[in-house]
């Protein structure tokens, strides 16, 4: 089978498509024929050796996928060859076949195609876990989403709207903001040209937002934190800007604000039942037409490195899907 291989941590253009042996399932594992997988920011960090996890070399990136189960290992109870599934293996999705622990596999929701399914797990599950379990976002509250046209950002817009919140989307260009509006954002802020803090205050009649979803970091974090309301919550999702901000804790004291870390990948291991419930809730919203992954590009395996580079250059909106069979 063909796989995009990372043989050494380093520049993205060293990734190459190679012929490798098909995987065989061990106990509690399944092999999935990958119909589609999707690109996430951590894939780009992983291959450069900049992520918190460093897989043994060589490996294939690709954290989430959709496809068909072809083999099941001993001990696997609820899956069999032929099942249509979505999965978050953490790596290995940019290949024609992928070995996945059975506990990381869910059924492809009814009515969902493989490309949509491949972009459904990581971003939407992160956003639902963040907004519901960590941020306790309530109907009628105002949420500010930073990096709102990106992968997790665009899912946060849809999840928050499904939860009944008002959404202010912040991003770096008019084109990206129009994309966010099409996804349901109520208001938008261009944080490249405007004053983020002042614009949030203007849009909330001086009160501030109840919750901020922050996958970007850098200077935007403090500006958004300063524009949160009494008992506002800032959800720390990631640092796509490359800068981990350092904020002064008097900002927390002054309005009883909270800074809340979100680590979906770890939470899933700690609360598999909670994760199962969240996937069911997301599948219901999908069936009701409330959420739908915003797939903006489809590429072949060999073109995944170029797409990864575009992602790092902030040139991607929504999600890029990789089709290994193309």
Ligand X SMILES: NC(=O)c1ccc[n+]([C@@H]2O[C@H](COP(=O)([O-])OP(=O)(O)OC[C@H]3O[C@@H](n4cnc5c(N)ncnc54)[C@H](OP(=O)(O)O)[C@@H]3O)[C@@H](O)[C@H]2O)c1
List interacting residues with ligand X (CB under 6 A).
Answer: 40-42, 122, 126, 147, 149-153, 171-172, 176, 215-216, 237-242, 262-265, 311-312, 314, 316
Cα–Cα dist 228/200, whole Å: 8
Take residue 30 and report the two structure tokens written for it: 């399944």
Calculate Rg over the CA atoms of the chain. 20
Choice between 137 and 237, CB closer to ligand X: 237
Judged by beta carbon, residue 69 or residue 299, the one nearer ligand X is: 299
How many Å apart are CA 17 and CA 249, to the nearest integer? 48
In Å, what is the CA distance from 188 to each residue of 46, 93, 194, 316?
31, 34, 11, 18
In the complex, the smallest distance separating the C-beta of residue 69 from ligand X, rounded to whole angstroms, is: 25
Toward ligand X, which CB reaches closer, 109 or 293? 293
| Closer CB to ligand X, 2 or 220, in the complex | 220
CA atoms within 13 A on the CB side of 207: 11
6 vs 262 by CB, closer to ligand X: 262
State the minimum distance, in angstroms, from the CB of residue 275 to ligand X. Answer: 12
In whole angstroms, how close is the CB of 237 to ligand X at the nearest point?
5
Shortest Å, Cβ 238 to ligand X: 3
C-alpha distances out from residue 270 to 26, 264, 274, 302, Å: 22, 10, 9, 35
CB of 172 vs ligand X, minimal distance in Å: 4
The residue among 22 and 241 lying less far from ligand X, judged by its C-beta, is 241
Please name the residues in contact with 127: beta carbons below 8 A apart, sequence gap of 6 or more. Answer: 152, 155, 156, 158, 159, 160, 213
In the complex, least distance from residue 230 CB atom to ligand X, rounded to whole angstroms: 26
| Residues forming a β-bridge with 91 | none
Closer to ligand X at the Cβ: 103 or 263?
A: 263
Residue pair 91/62 in contact by the 8 Å Cβ criterion: yes
Residue showing the smallest CB distance to ligand X in the complex: 150
CB neighbours of 39 closer than 8 A, spacing ≥ 6?
151, 304, 307, 308, 311, 316, 319, 320, 321, 322
Shortest approach of ligand X to residue 34 CB, angstroms?
19
Min dist. Cβ of residue 25 to ligand X (A): 27
Lookup: tokens for 226: 């300063």
The SS3 call for residue 43 is helix
Q: Which is nearer to ligand X, 260 or 300 (CB)?
A: 260
Rounded to the nearest whole angstrom, what is the least distance from the CB of residue 236 to ligand X in the complex?
7
Smaller CB distance to ligand X: residue 42 or 93? 42
From residue 111, alpha-carbon distances to 5, 115, 130, 208, 299 in Å are 32, 12, 26, 39, 23
Q: Which residues, 6+ apart, have CB-to-CB distance to 5 below 8 Å?
A: 15, 16, 17, 18, 20, 58, 59, 60
What is the bridge-based pairing of β-strands 97-101 and 29-38? Answer: antiparallel
């Amino acid at each position: 089978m063909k796989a995009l291989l990372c043989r050494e941590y380093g520049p993205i253009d060293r990734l190459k498509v190679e012929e490798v042996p098909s995987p065989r399932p061990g106990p509690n594992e399944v092999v999935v024929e990958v119909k589609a997988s999707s690109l996430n920011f951590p894939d780009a960090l992983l291959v450069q050796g900049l992520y918190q996890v460093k897989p043994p070399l060589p490996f294939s990136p690709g954290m989430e996928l959709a496809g068909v189960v072809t083999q099941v290992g001993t001990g696997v109870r609820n899956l069999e060859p032929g099942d249509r599934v979505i999965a978050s293996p953490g790596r290995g999705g940019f290949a024609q076949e992928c070995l996945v622990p059975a506990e990381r596999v869910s059924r492809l929701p009814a009515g969902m195609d493989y490309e949509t399914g491949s972009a459904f797990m990581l971003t939407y599950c992160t956003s639902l876990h963040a907004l519901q379990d960590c941020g306790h976002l309530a109907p009628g509250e105002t949420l500010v989403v930073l990096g709102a046209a990106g992968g997790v950002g665009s899912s946060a817009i849809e999840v928050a709207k499904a939860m009944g919140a008002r959404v202010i989307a912040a991003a770096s260009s008019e084109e990206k903001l129009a994309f966010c509006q099409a996804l349901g954002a109520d208001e938008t802020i261009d944080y490249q040209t405007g004053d983020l803090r002042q614009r949030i205050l203007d849009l909330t009649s001086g009160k501030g937002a109840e919750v901020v979803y922050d996958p970007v970091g850098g200077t935007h974090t403090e500006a958004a934190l300063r524009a949160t309301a009494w008992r506002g919550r800032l959800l720390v999702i990631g640092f796509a800007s490359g800068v981990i901000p350092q904020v002064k804790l008097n900002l927390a004291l002054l309005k009883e604000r909270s800074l809340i870390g979100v680590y979906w990948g770890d939470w899933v291991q700690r609360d598999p039942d909670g994760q199962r419930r969240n996937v069911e809730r997301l599948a219901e919203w999908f069936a009701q037409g409330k959420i739908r992954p915003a797939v903006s590009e489809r590429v072949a395996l060999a073109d995944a490195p170029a797409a990864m580079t575009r992602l790092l250059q902030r040139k991607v909106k929504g999600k890029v899907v990789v089709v290994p069979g193309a």
